[in-house]
Amino acid sequence: MRVTLKIWRQKNAAATGGFATYTKDNVVAEMSFLEMLDALNRELVEKGEEPVAFESDCREGICGTCSLVVSGIPHGPGKGAATCQLYMRRFKDGDTITVEPFRARGFPILRDLIVDRSAFDRIIQAGGFISVNTGGTPDANALPIAKEQQELAMDAAACIGCGACVAACKNASAMLFVAAKVSHLSLLPQGQPERQQRVLNMVAQMDKEGFGACTNTFECEAACPKEISVRFIARLNREYMRASWGDK
Amino acid sequence: MVWLRRTFDSTVGMKWLMGITGLFLTLFVFVHMLGNLQVYLGPDALNTYAETLQHLGELLWVARVGLFTIFVVHIVSAIRLSQLNRSARPQGYAVITPQVSRYASRTMLMGGLIVLGFVVYHLMHFTLGLVSPEQFHLQDAKGRHDVYAMVVIGFRQPLIAFSYILAMVPLMLHLQHGASSFFQSLGLNYPKYNNLFRAVGPVLSAIIFIGNCSIPLAILAGLVPYPVAGH
Amino acid sequence: MELKSNVPSGPLEQKWDKHKAEISLINPANKRKYNILVVGTGLAGASAAASLAELGYNVTAFCFHDSPRRAHSIAAQGGINAAKNYQNDGDSVWRLFYDTIKGGDFRAREANVYRLAQVSVNIIDQCVAQGVPFAREYGGLLSNRSFGGAQVSRTFYARGQTGQQLLLGAYSALSRQIGLGNVKMYPRTEMLDLVVVDGHAKGIITRNLVSGEIQRHVGDAVVLATGGYGNVFYLSTNAVGSNVTATYRAYKRGAAFANPCYTQIHPTCIPVSGEHQSKLTLMSESLRNDGRVWVPKKKGDNRPPDQIPEDERDYYLERKYPSYGNLAPRDISSRAAKQVCDEGRGVGPGGLGVYLDFSEVIKRLGENVVRERYGNLFDMYHEITNENPYAVPMRIYPAVHYTMGGLWVDYNLMSNIPGLFVLGEANFSDHGANRLGASALMQGLADGYFVIPYTIGDYFARNKIARPSIDAPEVKQAEADTRNQIARMLSIKGKHSVDVFHRELGRVMWEYCGMARTDASLKKALAEIPEIRARFWKEVHVTGGGEELNLALERAGRVADFLEFGELLCLDALERRESCGGHFRAEFQTEDGEAKRDDDAFCHVAAWEYQGPERKPVRNVEPLDFQFVHLATRSYK
């Protein structure tokens, strides 16, 4: 099949970007969307043009590197999948597909479709951890954790840090990302000692990075490749207010 | 006072403020509607109710100041958050395809501002009597402020009636999202209760829309008796 | 070249404790005077960087990803082994050690493997303390599953995302140290050369992948934790960015490359769907706990699977290896799949596939239980193939997955270049000729959390050498070399994109040096690779410039290294005239098609020494001295 691609091109962070239109032939249904872009890039290079810069790594939906907004949807159509898990069978001959980078003040564009998501790293550095040094830890079975609690913590921990929640939110809010980490750690007994300070520090960093606030439209949950629930955002709100008004 | 700063000056804190003030405002709108519906019970009932409120004395002022504060906090937080949210995405998408969000949830600021405009007009009309002063100073047979007459005479004018009905549309949309959303902002999200939480907004906003719109419609249709001329 | 393993003397069980007691220490106050450069921030690199920073060392860490959380360790699905014996099923450190050394077809160093089994138990404790949400039983205690090559349940897991959760644990520890200012992190930075001064590794040259800036870094030691080289095959389950560059360039600076021919082909991957394919997707080995592998008994049987009656199916793993059945080790399962496909009994397009069937377990436990166990894997399969594995059996085929070979290291994980430490998949040390499932995560974390923090101090204490100046001639020379190579690649302006050559190399590697290798096929590969390489340097088109974000340039550098490294791999495969683990030489097999080792001639590590461009490297040998286990013929029957 043949598709028309409207792709955002931008030379670097400082440059002004714009859309370029490409026609891609010989697309087959079994191709992944990124493989289709690979093929486009091969053709561009053969023509002596600069290929489209886009990021990906594991190509199996777990590393969180790929980050495209495909036809107005972060990671493209289809639930619970990253862009690299999007297959061309979802499109049909003659389709026009718009491809944009994730857009947010917190995610400046580096080139074409590549954005800088180091803000997420800084949020984790502000408190997304349990302060234990290597060695000297108690036996792993010393502290039983109810299966339900562990499962819920795992639901939150499944976040791959791709930033689709920010991309999908009309406010470019990073609440789902922060909520997932805060919830994961506050649900576990190991996370209790730093529970209050953690949420305060992480939210403060999130605000500093220039992400917006949550207006409960829940687009983040719909875009999340790991389908992380917005219930964790409610938990974040709870944790944050408790910590704010608590004794810290 | 770091806790105050965290509440009034962080994204999460301000959302919580939006939620808690929104909850009170929703309750107010609902009770207000219940009061209004007494127009169907006749002039005496409505005017008695109005006079009871008027004679609360200091309590009335406490309520007024409280309500005003809540209103201001709601609006100021909304404006601050909106500014923040806008600056969080300096360049928008060429194509955006919402997946799950409703129109109401994406237009809270605009809807809220329209509702604010209406509230100002509504206060000028029925509380301060600036819109139609001649109807505002009517008194009933017992010498009380004749709210019944003011309402019925007012809504017999199609322009005023329809402007009120029209204003109920953004209010309904605002509440449709807001009255479910505050649960989430206040930290209430439990799969067991979520169906309930998510139903509150649409159901409550529909009740308020129907209740409030019924009054001008009924008056226009002549279903509410024209008041005996007061003096 | 002398390859001294530096294995401590004494009984196997006491070697590590004895070594720890004997090695020299660095005073806490002095630790911050040492600058350690850690390259790669996957499980091994992140855990090492965090642990070393916690001890007080000055750590600078580098990764080419945009964040340390994205390293390919994240994609490990199934689990991590540890000799906890929580299941009371007879596990022990010895048994984990023995399974691992036997799984590796007796081509690993005993002492390293024993230490690995010993510290495995600490890893689980550490990870739980960090908040890794391992699966648990209803009583709140940790749950285990079984994995290939073992008869006990010792694999800890976090759904199908164990690698992710462990990496996020190490990443959180690293992030904490970055936040505290103890680690200076350089993401989007690729190491392009190693700096050796007076025989010691003292620095690296990097390229900032956003600005293109070439930077010099000097330190007191360099730790490479840069993963494996599976992408030399172009198609593999590795991330598309995984590459051999860091280790290969260290090799070119004198580090010995050990056993490059030991590559693991994973039996359960989704078959190739066409020319456009950019990578292969693994379906976790844990699926073999409940799935049954089969092909039709008849050749060319094209009936849909549900119309093939039970007695016309060949559950070949259960038939050939009754005691391990579907959980036979990876190399054996892969070869068995290749065998039945070669016989013309493969299924799916092109006949390159076998069934992995869940109908029995669905019938026995219900779809819900299966969904709970493998839901995300089934969804992934469905999305890729457009087939519903709850209704029809999965089709799987082996694919390159892991590389056991790597830079040669001694017991301290130090290469033959003093001051150059190599951890995780990047080294060669623990898996011999074949790695067992759920052991890669174990090794990465063992090296990073529990080995390097001890052994690096010993190097510092014994070698009081001042850090070179950033302007030392060796450092400047390395930078100049790097700049030259970049300029050379940019100047070619040929007509093909980098991928074209990578794919060609991959085809040669897979065809002639894949699951089965022969003298003739390897010689063919050795003839073709230099030819592809020559064409690459004439015809590649690297668009753009060096001073900008340039993906084509990044790839060109990596593929240029693969084009040299592929030859080394084939050479190693050619010279190892035996079959063992993942290295299967068709000339050396038993009557029933199993790998036939030659312990007299090849019970050793082959460590290759670079001799300069276009010159044959020298093959050095470290004999493997088995004092504690008996060299048996591996049998999983």
- CB nearest A72 (choices: B13, B16, B96): B96
pLDDT interval class at C274 (50, 70, 90): confident
The SS3 of residue A244 is: helix
Q: Annotated catalytic, C330?
A: yes
Handedness of CA A29, A33, A36, A40 (dihedral sign): positive
From C215, C226, C219, select the one nearest C196 (Cα to Cα).
Answer: C219
**Whole-angstrom distance, CA of residue C268 vs CA of residue C288:** 9
Q: How many domains does chain A have?
A: 2
Q: How many domains does chain B have?
A: 1
The SS3 of residue C549 is: coil
Q: For position C314, which CATH number holds?
A: 3.90.700.10
Chains interfacing with B (3 or more CB pairs < 8 Å): A
Q: Which of A111, A135, A154 represents a domain boundary (last residue)?
A: A111
User: C-alpha distances in angstroms, C122 versus C117, C339, C637?
Assistant: 10, 40, 33
Residue A84 has pLDDT above 50, yes or no: yes
Question: Which among C159, C216, C288, C330 is annotated as catalytic?
Answer: C330
Q: Are C343 and C351 in contact (CB under 8 A)?
A: no
pLDDT interval class at C78 (50, 70, 90): confident
Q: Which of A111, A135, A153 represents a domain boundary (last residue)?
A: A111
Residue C505 has pLDDT above 90, yes or no: yes
Q: For position C528, which CATH number holds?
A: 1.20.58.100
Residue A32 has pLDDT above 80, yes or no: yes
Q: HSE of A201 in the Cβ direction (CA atoms, 13 Å)?
A: 16
**Whole-angstrom distance, CA of residue C242 vs CA of residue C248:** 13
Task: Output the six-digit token pair for A72.
Answer: 């107005």
Which class for C478: exposed (0-12), middle (13-18), buried (19 or more C-beta within 10 A)? Answer: buried
Phi, psi of C111 (to 5 degrees): -65, -40
Q: Is residue B228 a part of any domain in this protein?
A: no
Instruction: Check whether residue A42 and residue A22 sit in a common domain.
Output: yes
Q: How far is A104 from chain C (nearest CA, A)?
A: 17
Which of the two residues, C278 and B230, has the higher pLDDT score?
C278
pLDDT of residue C13: 97
Q: Are C289 and C110 in contact (CB under 8 A)?
A: no
Strand C604-609 and strand C618-623: the pairing is: antiparallel
Phi, psi of C400 (to 5 degrees): -60, 135
Q: Is residue C17 a part of any domain in this protein?
A: no
For C214-245, letters b (16+ CB in 10 Å) and e give: bbbbbbbbbbbbbbbbbbbbbbbbbbbbbbbb
Task: Output the six-digit token pair for C340.
Answer: 């039945």
What angle, 0 to 180 degrees and rounded to 10, lies between the N-to-C axes of helices A118-127 and A175-186?
30
Instruction: Check whether residue A156 and residue A230 sit in a common domain.
Output: yes
**Whole-angstrom distance, CA of residue B89 vs CA of residue B92:** 6
Q: Is residue B225 a part of any domain in this protein?
A: no
Task: Output the six-digit token pair for C542.
Answer: 């690297």
Kindly state the average pLDDT of the residues A77-82: 92
Q: Are B36 and B126 in contact (CB under 8 A)?
A: no
Task: Output the six-digit token pair for A237.
Answer: 């709100």
Which class for C74: exposed (0-12), middle (13-18), buried (19 or more C-beta within 10 A)? Answer: buried
From A102, A112, A114, A97, select the one nearest A9 (Cα to Cα).
Answer: A112
Residue C221 has pLDDT above 70, yes or no: yes
DSSP state of C173: H
Domain span including residue A90:
3-111
- CB nearest C133 (choices: A11, A118, A150): A150
Instruction: Check whether residue A165 and residue A218 sit in a common domain.
Output: yes
Q: Is residue B226 a part of any domain in this protein?
A: no
pLDDT of residue A177: 98
**Whole-angstrom distance, CA of residue B18 vs CA of residue B73:** 8
Give the pLDDT confidence of C333-349 residue by residue, as tens digits: 999 999 999 999 999 98
**Whole-angstrom distance, CA of residue C138 vs CA of residue C151:** 24
Q: Which of A58, A84, A111 represents a domain boundary (last residue)?
A: A111
Mutate to test the interface with C, among A66, A111, A132 (most CBs of C within 10 A): A132
Kindly state the average pLDDT of the residues B164-191: 96
Q: Is residue B102 a part of any domain in this protein?
A: yes
**Whole-angstrom distance, CA of residue C315 vs CA of residue C306:** 15
Range in A16-25, C361-370, C452-461 the model is least confident about: C361-370
CA of C186: which chain A residue's CA is closest? A118
Residue C151 has pLDDT above 70, yes or no: yes
pLDDT interval class at C525 (50, 70, 90): very high
- CB nearest A103 (choices: B15, B93, B183): B93
Residue A247: its chain B contacts at CB < 8 A? none
Q: For position A174, which CATH number holds?
A: 1.10.1060.10
- Which pTM value belongs to this model? 0.96
Q: For position B99, which CATH number holds?
A: 1.20.1300
**Whole-angstrom distance, CA of residue C58 vs CA of residue C35:** 5
Q: Is residue B231 a part of any domain in this protein?
A: no
Task: Output the six-digit token pair for B191.
Answer: 């799969």
pLDDT interval class at C592 (50, 70, 90): confident
CA of B190: which chain A residue's CA is closest? A231
Q: Is residue C412 a part of any domain in this protein?
A: no
Q: How many domains does chain C have?
A: 2
Kindly state the average pLDDT of the residues C462-469: 94
Task: Output the six-digit token pair for B35.
Answer: 């009061």
Touching check for A193 and chain B: CB below 8 Å? no
Note whether B101 contacts A170, CB cutoff 8 Å.
yes
Domain span including residue B63:
2-220
Q: Please spell the DSSP secondary structure of C592-623, one letter per residue.
A: TS-B---HHHH-EEEEEE--STTSPPEEEEEE
Note whether C274 contacts A30, CB cutoff 8 Å.
yes
Residue C18 has pLDDT above 70, yes or no: yes
Residue B177: its chain A contacts at CB < 8 A? 216
Write out the H or E segment, with its range, that includes residue B176. Answer: helix B158-185
CA torsion C473→C475→C476→C478, rounded to 10°? 120
User: What is the Cα Rg of chain B in Å?
Assistant: 20
Stated length of chain A: 248
Instruction: Check whether residue A123 and residue A231 sit in a common domain.
Output: yes
Q: Is residue C517 a part of any domain in this protein?
A: yes
Q: Is residue C356 a part of any domain in this protein?
A: yes
- CB nearest B101 (choices: A72, A172, A217): A217
Domain span including residue C380:
265-400
**Whole-angstrom distance, CA of residue C446 vs CA of residue C568:** 28
Give the pLDDT confidence of B46-105 residue by residue, as tens digits: 999 999 998 988 999 999 999 999 999 999 999 999 999 999 999 999 999 999 999 999
Touching check for B222 and chain A: CB below 8 Å? no
Instruction: Check whether residue A126 and residue A88 sit in a common domain.
Output: no
Helical segments of B9-123, H only: 11-36, 43-54, 58-87, 103-106, 108-122
Note the maximum CA span of chain B.
64
The SS3 of residue B205 is: helix
pLDDT of residue A248: 59
Q: For position A64, which CATH number holds?
A: 3.10.20.30
Stated length of chain C: 637
Instruction: Check whether residue A45 and residue A11 sit in a common domain.
Output: yes
Which ipTM was obtained for this model? 0.98
Give the pLDDT confidence of A49-79 residue by residue, as tens digits: 999 999 999 999 999 999 999 999 999 998 8
CA of A44: which chain C residue's CA is closest? C497
Note whether A46 contacts C72, CB cutoff 8 Å.
no
In terms of average pLDDT, the best of B141-145, B216-220, C326-330 is B216-220
pLDDT interval class at B231 (50, 70, 90): very low
Rounded mean pLDDT of chain C? Answer: 95
Q: Are A82 and A162 in contact (CB under 8 A)?
A: yes
Q: Is residue B15 a part of any domain in this protein?
A: yes
Q: Do chain B and chain C touch with ≥3 beta carbon pairs under 8 Å?
A: no
Residue A31: its chain C contacts at CB < 8 A? 274, 276
**Whole-angstrom distance, CA of residue B102 vs CA of residue A224:** 18
